[in-house]
A = this chain, B = another copy of it.
Amino acid sequence: MLTIAVDAMGGDFGPAPIVEGTLHALKEREFKALLVGNVSVLKPLIPSEYLDRVSFIESTDVLDMHEAATNALKRKETSIYKAVDLVKDNVADAVVSMGHSGATMSLATLRIGRLKGVLRPAIATIMPTAVNGKVSLVLDVGANVDCKAEHLAQFAVMGEAYVKDILKVAHPKVGLLSNGEEESKGNEITKEAFLLLKQLKSFVGNVEGNNIFDGSVDVIVCDGFVGNILLKTSEGVADSITKIIKQNVRRSPLAIAGAVLMRKVFTVLKKQVDYAEYGGAPLIGINGCAIIGHGKSNAKAVKNAIFQAINFSSSNINTDIENKLAQLEL
């Protein structure tokens, strides 16, 4: 049975949604949860029927969301430090945290270590597309702000492995995010990466921002600076559209009636674009498994992040990445 370490103190809302999400996950899947945090707070939240599959690890410190990630390595009593070390010490198979994402990233990379051949682990995020049931994977979305061409090429290999092994896409298509589809497009680094990526059969060439959402590719490769900006831009567009619709519906009784009749459509839309459906963002390239959840995660997002950790840990992704990277000429 897999063992998942859960940082029960991280996140914007404290232990409540994390514990609730963990319980939902335990109900649906077979695994053991190691809850790391203030045991006297956590224990009373777990109904007795779950206690055979839940253990507690005491931690007296919490890393605040606004602290510098560099503090994380010194603060050995924080819940995130202890949760990560459970994977390092082979006590747990994976760690899930809704806390400080930069800290989780550095701790997982430095304490658990990288896979053989990996220059830099990357954070990947699953994005919805307009094609029903189809998602795309964008990486890196924040771990690596300044990248070289060989980093981007490795991200492609890691993203392809994730989509194949976890999302079960048989023949993934990998695109390099650029300012145009032609090979001649790109900045200096993506042009160099393009040449390296020609080694991959899955590489379909440059793609543009809109291709993230149209289902034309499975993996979109970019550096963490661009990845973060495109994530926030996407959220911004979706939020603005929602706001404009709400503002204008409020002004007209007819439109209010229309919105009521369309409620089911909006529910489907919300579900399709809701990050909680996808769980968290895997840190790919470490010698283990770390899933980085949104600070604002509700119980459903926590449950899905744990499911991601289970799927990741029960797959061959890490071996596949090492094998593929060994074949990649940089």
Q: Mark A227-239, 1 if CB is under 8 A from B, else 0.
A: 0111111111111
A228 to B68, CA, bound (A): 31
Interface stretch of the complex, out of A44-52, A57-65, A253-261, A278-286? A253-261
User: A14 near B: Cβ within 8 Å?
Assistant: no
Question: Considering only CB atoms, which chain B residue lies closest to A102 in the complex?
Answer: B180
Alpha-carbon gap, A164 to B213, bound state (A): 35
Q: Does A273 contact B (CB under 8 A)?
A: yes
CB contacts (< 8 Å) of A268 on chain B: these are 244, 248
Asked if A179 is an interface residue, CB under 8 A from chain B, the answer is yes
Q: Is there an interface contact between A241 and B244, defined as CB atoms closer than 8 Å?
A: no
Given A145-B186, A146-B187, A239-B130, is A232 in contact with B261 using a C-beta cutoff of 8 Å?
A: no
Q: Which of A146-177 contact B (CB under 8 A)?
A: 146, 177
Number of copies: 2
User: Contacting chain B: which of A19-27, A77-85, A105-113, A203-211?
Assistant: A203-211
Chain A interface size, as a band, is 35 or more
Say yes or no: A244 contacts B262, CB within 8 Å: no
Chain B residues contacting A223 (CB-CB under 8 Å) are 187
**Of B145, B177, B233, B241, which contacts A209 at CB under 8 A?**
B233
Q: Check B210 against A236 for contact (C-beta < 8 Å).
A: yes
How far is B230's CA from A222's CA once the two chains are assembled, in angstroms?
Answer: 13
A130 neighbours in B (Cβ, 8 Å): 239-240, 243-244, 247
Chain A binding surface, main DSSP class: helix
Pairwise interchain contact A209-B231, C-beta atoms closer than 8 A: yes
C-alpha spacing A213/B241, complex, angstroms: 10
Closest beta carbon of chain B to A77's beta carbon, Å: 25
Interface residue from B187, B224, B232, B257 paired with A210 (Cβ < 8 Å): B232
Q: Smallest CB–CB gap between A173 and chain B, Å?
A: 16
**A188 x B235 contact (CB < 8 A):** no
Q: How far is the CA of A234 from the CA of B50 in the complex (A)?
A: 45
Is the Cβ of A240 less than 8 Å from the Cβ of B129?
A: yes
Is A208 a contact of B187 with CB atoms below 8 Å?
A: no
* Given A145-B187, A255-B265, 16 extra CB contacts under 8 A: A177-B229, A180-B228, A187-B225, A209-B230, A210-B232, A213-B236, A222-B229, A241-B273, A244-B268, A245-B269, A248-B268, A249-B262, A252-B264, A254-B261, A255-B262, A258-B260
